[in-house]
Structure 1
Amino acid sequence: MGPSVPVGKAPDEGEEESRLLLRFATPRDPALIAKWITYQVINTEHQDWRRGAEAALRYRQRGEHLDVPYEHVEVEGAFPLGRWLSDQRRTFRAGIMTGERAAELEELGIVWDTADAGFETNLAAARAYYALHGTLAAPRGATILDLAVGQWLTNIRRPDGLGKDPERAERRAAALDPDWNPGTLGWTVDWQRHHTYLAQLLAEGAQPAAIVPGVTRHGEDIGRWLASQRRNWNRLNEEQQHRLAELGVKKAPQARKAAAKTAAASRPRAGGEAFQKGLQALQQYLAREGGMPGRAVVERLPDGMEHRTGIWISNQKARRDRLDTAQLAALANLGIDWAR
């Protein structure tokens, strides 16, 4: 009689041994029964793990990362890959995952800490925004690299926005611009953004007197903002005043009332139409050219009127002793030295 030939599927690893244990185990052999149960549990767990690793490999081969949504289910075999990877992360954090399994998952590209992975993605967008704008004081609707970086920065400025773990929060904050959260400094994101843009204009050679309403950067009216800061100087806190002073910005002088009506009547009023037309023409020229006009300059105003701006400045200088304080201040604000 020849050797026996196995029929059907060959038993999996450990399955034959478990069958033998069960065959020879009797109700009086509790140790053998326990060992058989252990083999069955270990074998099932091994098979489940292999299924998960194979599903992760298929997912990765499709060009995806392994930051898989928790609810994701692989079509092949309807395997709950998202939940399985979440279980592997918990096992890894608990320190009970074998080194072999951890190495296999890392080779596949598993994301152990999904929170940190998300932070790094947004941090890359924030750095791109900073490279373009020189600040992280982005408006809430700002986007870059197809990411809503403005909303993300708004979110992390909220309490515990960088995470409840103090060490992690401190590490994340260190990766950002020191002024990324202006609220902790006593001013708004809007103020921080305008201050940064003002500093950039000055660093590029613009004169403070030339930054008048209508001068913009990245769509922000820096001239109007600057005039507001000078006008409302006393409402700023000490650090804001200090930062502006470092840029050469000073508080706007207060106009004094005329000593007498007769004296006021003999002088051109600060609000006089001719004087205001001259200021408008000068502001327009400075915003465009960045320097004082020559005597022959003729500026065309928005209403179509041509203004002999160069001659107008010479005339104001010739009669400066007849200009009142408000008029002199208005001229000084535009950078005319003799009016100071």
Structure 2
Amino acid sequence: MIAKWIKFQILDTERQDWTRGYDTARRYFDREGSLDVPYEHIENAYPLGRWLSDQRRAFRAGTMSSTRADELEELGMVWDTADTAFAENLAAARAYYAQAGTLAAPRHATALDKPVGQWLTNLRRPNGLGKDPERTARRAEQLAAIDPDWNPGQLGWTVDWQRHYTGLTALLEAGGTLDGITPGVTYRGDDIGRWLARQARDWTRPNPEQQRRLGKVGVKPAARPQKTAARTNTKARAAKGSDAFTRGVTALAQYIQREKKTVVGRHHVEELPDGTSVRLGVFLSNQKSRRDRLTEQQLAALAELGYHWTQ
């Protein structure tokens, strides 16, 4: 009796579910020509994307019968487990974008019970999309289809800047005005008013594309007092500091390319091709301690090398 109960209540139910999933997958394939199904896709009230993901897990674990594997392969099933995990996280990214209007998510952000913020942070790091060129290009296209600006570092600014800019546009689209967005006005936890005031005050820091985007929504540089000759020395010191930063970043990129890591010893000295040297450990420590005074371009340069404490 127990054996019959197991057969009817468990085994037969499992077979019926598999048959329903297979039939749904076959109809999808007949219509679309592939089984490239988003994880969150629902086909005629059936969670086809999740079912296919479960089949890939069973195949990977070796619990799927060869008959079922053959039947799915005849439909064009792709067993790539790495792409399966990526597809599940991509579904979470779509859900987050639907709520926030951007993929510039903070690290702690979650969607569909997945740590989408940390996942996106990892993808933006060097080789974060994988080392296979074809797969990397495909994944980048999938992310860009959700948000063309998903990787702000490639545009020359930080994830934090992109998220605040999205918040500004959202507030304006909701009927807000630039005059009314003052420090203390927030969007999804970010103080957009304070950020807006800083953009207008430090207009020379954003790059030309950032300035174009700000100008598109009506932001203009704040009026500044007339320049005096006394500021000449200040500018000279700033230029010198900028040159030192450029040398530091050059040395850092050279070190990472050679050592394949971003951890630098405190006393490490990196020799440059021109015969000069940079105290790389000290340079990194100094940038981290003064990151609130770095320009957007400097923050983006460090983030591009994998130092995401700049965000």
For 1:111 and 1:162, the matched residues in 2 are separated by 19
For 2:75 and 2:118, the matched residues in 1 are separated by 32
Q: Percent identity?
A: 61
The 1:141/1:109 distance shift into structure 2, 3 A limit, reads: farther
Question: Residue 195 in 1 paired to residue 195 in 2?
Answer: no
Question: Residue 178 in 1 paired to residue 145 in 2?
Answer: no
1:10-89 alignment runs, 5 A limit: 65-68=54-57, 81=62
Q: Is the partner of 1:154 in helix, strand or coil?
A: helix
Larger RCO (alpha carbons 8 Å, 6+ apart):
2
- Counterpart pick for 1:140 among 107, 132, 138: 107
Question: Residue 117 in 1 paired to residue 84 in 2?
Answer: yes
Question: How many Å apart are 1:105 and its aligned residue?
Answer: 5.0
Q: What residue in structure 2 maps to residue 31 of structure 1? A: none
Question: How many Å apart are 1:109 and its aligned residue?
Answer: 11
For 1:254 and 1:123, the matched residues in 2 are separated by 45
Q: What residue in structure 2 maps to residue 260 of structure 1? A: none
1:293-332 alignment runs, 5 A limit: none
Q: What residue in structure 2 maps to residue 211 of structure 1? A: 181
What 5-or-longer segments of structure 1 have no aligned partner? 1-55, 73-80, 89-99, 258-340
For 2:112 and 2:75, the matched residues in 1 are separated by 26
* Corresponding letter in the other structure for 2:109: A
* Corresponding letter in the other structure for 1:65: D
1:241-280 alignment runs, 5 A limit: 241-255=211-225
What 5-or-longer segments of structure 2 have no aligned partner? 1-13, 20-50, 228-311
Question: How many Å apart are 1:172 and its aligned residue?
Answer: 1.5
Contact (CA 8 Å) 2:104, 2:159: kept in 1 or not? yes
For 2:74 and 2:54, the matched residues in 1 are separated by 12
Q: What residue in structure 2 maps to residue 104 of structure 1? A: 71
For 1:71 and 1:112, the matched residues in 2 are separated by 8
Contact (CA 8 Å) 1:65, 1:109: kept in 2 or not? no
Q: Is the partner of 2:204 in helix, strand or coil?
A: helix
Q: What residue in structure 2 maps to residue 301 of structure 1? A: none
1:181-226 Cα shifts (integer Å, max 9, x gaps): 0001100000000001101111122111111001111111000000
- Counterpart pick for 1:169 among 118, 125, 136: 136
Contact (CA 8 Å) 2:201, 2:222: kept in 1 or not? yes
Q: What residue in structure 1 maps to residue 197 of structure 2? A: 227
Question: Residue 239 in 1 paired to residue 198 in 2?
Answer: no
Question: How many Å apart are 1:106 and its aligned residue?
Answer: 4.8
Q: Is the partner of 1:179 in helix, strand or coil?
A: coil
The 1:174/1:109 distance shift into structure 2, 3 A limit, reads: closer
* Corresponding letter in the other structure for 1:169: T
1:219-255 Cα shifts (integer Å, max 9, x gaps): 1100000001111111111111111011100001013
Give the TM-score normalised by the residue count of structure 2: 0.51
Question: How many Å apart are 1:102 and its aligned residue?
Answer: 4.5
* Corresponding letter in the other structure for 2:57: V
Give the TM-score normalised by the residue count of structure 1: 0.47
Q: Is the partner of 2:94 in helix, strand or coil?
A: helix
Question: Residue 158 in 1 paired to residue 125 in 2?
Answer: yes
Question: How many Å apart are 1:68 and its aligned residue?
Answer: 3.3
1:82-141 Cα shifts (integer Å, max 9, x gaps): 6x99xx8xxxxxxxxxxx775335599976111111111011100010010000000011
* Corresponding letter in the other structure for 2:125: R
For 1:149 and 1:69, the matched residues in 2 are separated by 25
Q: What residue in structure 2 maps to residue 316 of structure 1? A: none
The 1:171/1:221 distance shift into structure 2, 3 A limit, reads: same
Q: Is the partner of 1:104 in helix, strand or coil?
A: helix
Contact (CA 8 Å) 1:137, 1:192: kept in 2 or not? yes
The 1:235/1:127 distance shift into structure 2, 3 A limit, reads: same
Paired residues in the alignment total: 179
For 1:175 and 1:108, the matched residues in 2 are separated by 23
Contact (CA 8 Å) 1:244, 1:250: kept in 2 or not? yes
